[in-house]
Structure 1
Amino acid sequence: MTEHAPIILDVAGTSLSVDDRRRLAHPLTGGVILFARNWDNRAQLLDLTSAIKAVRDDLLICVDHEGGRVQRFRTDGFTHLPPMRALGDMWMDDGEGAGALAGNGAMRATNAATAAGYVLGAELRACGVDFSFTPVLDLDHGESGVIGDRAFHRDARVVAMLAKSLMHGLLQAGMTNCGKHFPGHGFVKADSHTEIPVDKRSLKAILADDAAPYPWLSSTLTSVMPAHVIYPKVDSRPAGFSKRWLQDILRRQMRFDGAIFSDDLSMEGARRLDGQLVGYTDAAVAALDAGCDLVLLCNQSLGTGEPVDELLDGLLAARDKGAWQPSVDSEARRLALLPETLPQPWDELMYQPAYLQALDLLP
C-alpha cells in the first residue's frame, strides 16, 4: 500500500499510451476517471480496464454514470437508465380514481431505485469499472440547469429514501457509492464548470433543507463529493476547499467517516480561491488541506497532458516540502471504495434472474 495516493486522473483514449502508463504508475495516482471518449464497445472497455489494473491493481476505476443525460456508456447492450427525477415522479404517482392507493407510488419508486442501482453497478462491474459517482443528493429547486433532472425530488426526505434505495442496489452489485454535491448544488443557477456559484442562504437554512440527506444517510454513504459553490454566510471558500464544511460540519457534526472527493480541479469553481486564479497543484493542496481525501483532475490528458504531469510533479514536490501531509486514514478510505467481490461476467449477467427482474422494475 502506498502512503497516500490522492490523485484521480483521466486517460486520453480507448487504450493506454506510454504516457498514460507512466502516469498511472506514479505513487500519487490513486485512480482513473473514464469518459465517453474512452468507450467504443464492451470488449474494448474491458481491455482498457484490464490494462489499467495491470499497471496497479489497487487503482480505483471510476466513471460518472448516473442515468439520464449523465451516462458515459450507452451502446453495445448498456441499459439506458432513467434520470433520477423519473424515480421522484414515480414516488408521487399513487394512481388515479378508485384504483389509487396512498403510498403505492413511493413503494414502487424505492423498488425501482434499487433496481436502477443494481443494473448500473452490475453492468459497469462486468466491464471492469469499480465505482460510479452516484447518487446525486441535490434537491430539485427548479433553478439549476446543471442539476435539473439529475435530482430525485425537491423534498429532502424523498431524496434520502430514493438515494438509500439506489445505494442498496449498488451494494447488491458489489459497488460503493458517492453522494454529491455536498451540502447542495440545486439552489443556485450558475454552473460551477464555468462560473463560481454563490448560495447566500444561512447555515441553518442549508442544514434544514439541502444538506439534510447527508446526516440521514451517514451510515450508508461510502463517499461524498462537495460542491464547487461558495456559501458566504458559512465560509468564503467553496465547500470543497473549506475546513468548516468538510471537517467541522461533515466530519464532526454529521459524523461522516467515508472518503471525500474534490470535484474536478479543472472547473472554474475550483481554480479561483480567495479571488485569485490558482494552479492545479495549489488547488489540490488546498482541497487536501481542507479535508478531501482524493482530488480529481478531469479531461487534461488530451494532447500532451501537461496539466496532469504538472499536478503529479507539483503535488510530489509539495509533499517533499511539507506543504501537504499524506494521510494513512485517507488512503484507507480510498482502498475501502474498491470492490470486495468478483464481478459477474456480462454474458452470465444477462441471464441472471435478479438482473432480469431489475430491468422490469425500471421506469
Structure 2
Amino acid sequence: MPPGPAVVDVPGTVLADEDRERIRHPAAGAVILFARNYENPDQLRLLCEDIERLREPALPVCVDHEGGRVQRFREGFSAIPPMRELGRLWDRDRDAARQAARAIGYVIGAELGAHGVDFSFTPVLDLDYGASSVIGDRALHFDPTAAGALGSQLIIGLREAGMAAVGKHFPGHGFASADSHVAVPKDDRSVKEIFGKDLLPYRKAIEAGLAAVMPAHVIFTQADAEPAGYSKFWLQEVLRGKLGFQGLVFSDDLSMEGACVAGGPRERARAALAAGCDMVLLCNDPKGCDALLESLKGVSLSRLEAWEAMRKKGGRDLRKSVAYREAQQRLAAMSAALQKPEMGTIVPIQENPS
C-alpha cells in the first residue's frame, strides 16, 4: 500500500487495536512518537517493530529529538545538550563547534536508528534573536552564518548515521515572541530582512543535504496574511522556487493554536496541502485524527522518492562502532571546554545587534 500524507500518533507504549487501524489507514504516511510512548529501550524497539510490521512498505517512525528540553527519550539515550551550547562553543572555537555538531548528529542518528526510529525533526534552524521563549536555547545561534554552519554539520552527522534531517521552523520562528502552541505569532519584519538573515541557514542546510522542512505557524505580515505553513508564497515561491528545495515538507502540528486560523482539522490539513506541504501532523487528538484520515482518503503522496529518503539507512547497530565512540568523546570534550572559565564569557544574546 502506498503511503498517504498524514502523520499519526499513538497514545501509549504499546499499540491498541484502534492504533493499528490508524496506521493501516491508506491516508497514513508516518508515525510520530512522544515521551508518553517511551518506557525503556527494549519497549521502544518492540513498539517500532510492531509499527513496521503493519504496512508494506513500512511507515517511517519519527520523533522530536533535538536535545535539551526537547528530547523525548532519555533513559538509555545520551543526554544531548541544548543547541545553544553549540553556539557558545562556536564563539570560543569554531572548528571544535563544527566537530561537536557533527558528533551530536551522529549520536542522535545512531541511537534512534538502533531502536527502530527512522528520523528526528531536527535541526532547529531558527535564529536566536532573544525574542521567542518557545525557541530560546533550542536555536544554535543568533548569527545566520554560525547557525548555517552548525546546522549543516548536524545534518552531515545524521546522514553518516543513516538518518535524514528535518529543518525547522521555516522561514524562522526566532523573531516572533508568541508561542505558536497557544497563540498565532506574527513577525512584522520586511521580506528583505528575513531573506538576508533567516533564510541563510536553510540555504546552507539544503546544500548539506537537508531531506525535509517543517514550516512555522507564524504569520509574516509583510509577505502573506497566512501562517507560513499555509502560505504558497513561502512554501512554493520561496522554498521550492528560490531555494530549489526538492525534499518533503511536513506541516507543524495542526492541533497547535497557530494552525487554527484555517478552521477545523480537515480544513487545516487541506489548507496545508494546498499551500505546498506534503505531509500533515495532527497530534494529541484521536477523534480529529480519525476525521482527518477519512478526509484524506484517496489523497496520494506525490513525492514518493523523497518520502523513501526519510527511512533510516543501514541495519547494524552503530553504537558498537568506532565512529560512535569518537562522537561520544567529542561530546565529552565539548562539555569540558564549555566549563573552562578561562575561555571567557559570552555576551548575552539581547546585547548583540540584530
Give the TM-score normalised by structure 1.
Answer: 0.89
For 1:156, the equivalent position in structure 2 comes to 144
Instruction: Report the equivalent of 2:293.
Output: 312
Residues 252-303 of structure 1 show CA distances to partners (whole Å, capped at 9, x for unaligned) of: 1111111100000100111113xxxx11111001000100010011122xxx
What secondary structure is seen at the aligned counterpart in 2 of 1:218?
helix
Q: 2:172 aligns with which of 184, 192, 200?
A: 184
Unmatched segments (≥5 aa) in structure 1: 94-104, 320-324
Q: 221, 231, 242: which one pairs with 1:253?
A: 242
Q: Distance in 1 between matches of 2:50 and 2:85?
A: 36
Supply the distance in 2 between the matched residues of 1:282 and 1:350 (Cα, whole angstroms).
43
Measure how far apart 1:210 and its partner are: 1.2
Aligned-partner residue type, residue 58 of structure 2: D
Confirm or deny that 1:5 pairs with 2:4.
yes
The CA deviation at 1:327 is: 4.5
What amino acid maps onto 2:241 in structure 1? R
Secondary structure of 1:217's partner?
helix
- Consecutive unaligned residues of structure 2, counting only runs of 5 or more, are 335-354
Q: CA deviation at 1:350?
A: 4.3
RMSD of the alignment, in Å? 1.2
Q: State the AA in 1 paired with 2:277.
A: C
Counterpart for residue 224 of structure 2:
235
| Number of the residue aligned with 2:326 | 357
Quote the Cα distance in structure 1 between the aligned partners of 2:127 and 2:80.
20
Alignment of 1:253-272 (within 5 A): 253-272=242-261
SS of 2:52's partner is: helix
**Off by >6 Å, runs of 4+ in structure 1:** none
Distance in 2, matches of 1:60 and 1:182, equals 22
Aligned pair partner of 2:265 in 277, 280, 290? 280
Are the equivalent residues in 2 in contact too, given 1:122–1:343 (CA < 8 A)?
A: no
Question: 2: CA distance between counterparts of 1:78 and 1:336?
Answer: 24
Q: Secondary structure at the match of 2:29?
A: strand
| C-alpha distance after superposition, 1:331-358 (max 9, x if no partner) | 33212211232141xxxx4442211111
In 2, the alpha carbon distance for the partners of 1:289 and 1:69 equals: 33
Identity %: 51
- Determine the C-alpha separation between the residues in 1 that align with 2:312 and 2:320: 22
Pairwise mapping of residues 51-62 of structure 1 onto structure 2 (< 5 A)?
51-56=50-55, 57-62=57-62
TM-score, normalising length: structure 2: 0.91
| Alignment coverage as a number of residue pairs | 330
Residues 1:137 and 2:125 are matched in the alignment: yes
Write out aligned runs for 1:1-363 (5 A). Answer: 2=2, 5-56=4-55, 57-75=57-75, 77-93=76-92, 105-219=93-207, 220-273=209-262, 278-300=263-285, 305-316=286-297, 319=298, 326-328=300-302, 330-344=303-317, 349-362=318-331, 363=334
Distance 1:117 1:340 in 2: 15
